Amino acid sequence: MIVMGGIIGSGIFINSYVVAEQVHTPFLIIGAWAAGGVIAMAGAFIWAELAARMPEVGGQYAYLREAYHPAIAFLYGWVLLLVIQTGGMAAVAVTFAKYFIELTRLPVADGVIATLALGILTLINCFGVRAGSKVQSMLMVLKILAIAGLVLCGAVYLMGHESAASPGAKPYPLLDRPVSFDLVTAIGAALVPVLFAYGGWQTSNFVAEEIREPRKNLPRALVIGVIGVILLYLSVNFVYVYALGSLGLAQTSTPASAVMRIALGPKGAALIAVGIAISALGFLSQSILTAPRVYFAMAEDGLFFRSVGWLDPRHRVPVVAIVLQGIAAIIIALSGRYDQILSYVVSMDFLFFGLTATCLFPFRRRDASSGEIPATRGLARMPGHPITTILFVAACWLVVINTIFKYPHNTAIGFGILFAGIPVYFFWSWQKSKRGLHS
């Protein structure tokens, strides 16, 4: 539930139309989502091996620290707090607020509802992993039911109608243009929203230390969870293309609502709006549950405020870290300009996806030099390494390059926040050495 909840947000209900704007045939649209699934599957295997090697609190933070240097790990935690996690949470909270207000017709601003959602879920997760995971599991089940309902309605109610994807007897061609550099760049642009929708499997590793038998259960959860998401995403996009056609999908910024309106009328559109709101809440619950473990690990290493490393003696959760993240997300949610925030999130997230995947190289090299038999096997070992790992890293960094060219101003701000963390790291390192001398 944690793996799937970290991946499925509101993107699958919206992002498909962005893909259809870039590539214009059913084959290319479904193919882009299938390719994204392959990349996500590679990521799941890489993170499964990393989790089995180091089932420690902090996930990516711990891998980067042990593979390279504490400074690299700190910069990841820095942008996670200021850009990646809180920015994504703010955008999804506002998505929830928009649909909630549309359903209830309450005369309140988006920011108020977004703040309440973030505040309540932050409070729930302060009562321990068990309380947070129960809420997360409940929301994830409802989210899966919403997606399954969308697919079922699309299949049953549209089965008797002619597919919009192939009007008359004339089928669509496989490609929308000749094989060329233009086709390659279009496919690359289509993969950006796809990969963003598939991102999130890595957050389950943040809570590795709090999972029973993490070396066995976390790799299983990663692989099974990502497979489940791939099946859901491909099913949903097949329904979109079948019901709306490539052109109709590209012209509809809310494809889920459009399909449900065709199938069940206004009631169908209202039902899927409830599903999207629940999906957004589920993503927020998972984000609040997992990411604060990174800030906790930073504090444990002496590279952040000591209070952030405080564990509640009763519930054994990093309450200060959870509250700090909640406050940061609320500030961003109230500040506006969510399109900018999402640009920062994509560039920084995929920069560190690729960098974290490269951790396998020094870890495997250490295995070879020590002469020990690797402890990782089965689901907890990346198949086809190093070729598959290199391809995954290349895919991640191509997304970063794409966002730099497409949103130069926004990504420049994101990189500015990243580089601003360098002097902050040296300050905390100095503070740490100072405390060491006094002790």
For residues 147-162, give the mean pLDDT.
76
Question: Is residue 356 over pLDDT 50?
Answer: yes
pTM equals: 0.83
For residues 211-235, give the mean pLDDT.
88
The per-residue pLDDT for range 227-281, each reduced to its tens digit, is: 999 999 999 999 898 888 888 888 887 788 888 888 888 888 888 888 888 888 8
For residues 205-229, give the mean pLDDT.
83
For the chain, give the mean pLDDT. 83
Report the alpha-carbon distance of residue 11 to residue 105 in Å, rounded. Answer: 23
Find where tokens 């405080």 sit. Answer: 310
Q: Is the dihedral of CA 143, 148, 150, 151 positive or negative?
A: positive
For residues 21-43, give the mean pLDDT.
91
Range scoring the smallest mean pLDDT among 48-57, 190-199, 203-212, 291-300 = 203-212
Give the per-residue pLDDT at 169. Answer: 42
Range scoring the smallest mean pLDDT among 122-136, 162-176, 300-314 = 162-176
Which DSSP symbol is given to 202?
Answer: G
Question: Is residue 379 over pLDDT 70?
Answer: no
Q: Which of 44, 48, 41, 56 is nearest to 376 (CA)?
A: 48
Give the per-residue pLDDT at 333. Answer: 86
Range scoring the smallest mean pLDDT among 170-184, 189-203, 304-318 = 170-184
Which DSSP symbol is given to 212?
Answer: S
Question: Is residue 331 over pLDDT 70?
Answer: yes
Q: Which domains does the chain have, with CATH numbers?
A: 2-438 (1.20.1740.10)
The per-residue pLDDT for range 110-148, each reduced to its tens digit, is: 889 999 999 998 988 887 666 666 776 787 788 888 888
Cα Rg of the chain, angstroms: 22
Question: Is residue 392 over pLDDT 80?
Answer: yes
For residues 201 and 30, the model is more confident at 30
Percent of the chain with pLDDT over 70: 89
In sequence order, what DSSP letters do the residues of 119-186 get, joined into one string?
HHHHHHHTT-HHHHHHHHHHHHHHHHHHHHHHHHHHHHHHTTS--TTS-TT-PPPS-SS-SSHHHHHH
Give the per-residue pLDDT at 438. Answer: 54
Question: Is residue 285 over pLDDT 70?
Answer: yes
For residues 198-210, give the mean pLDDT.
79
Report the alpha-carbon distance of residue 294 to residue 59 in Å, rounded. Answer: 7
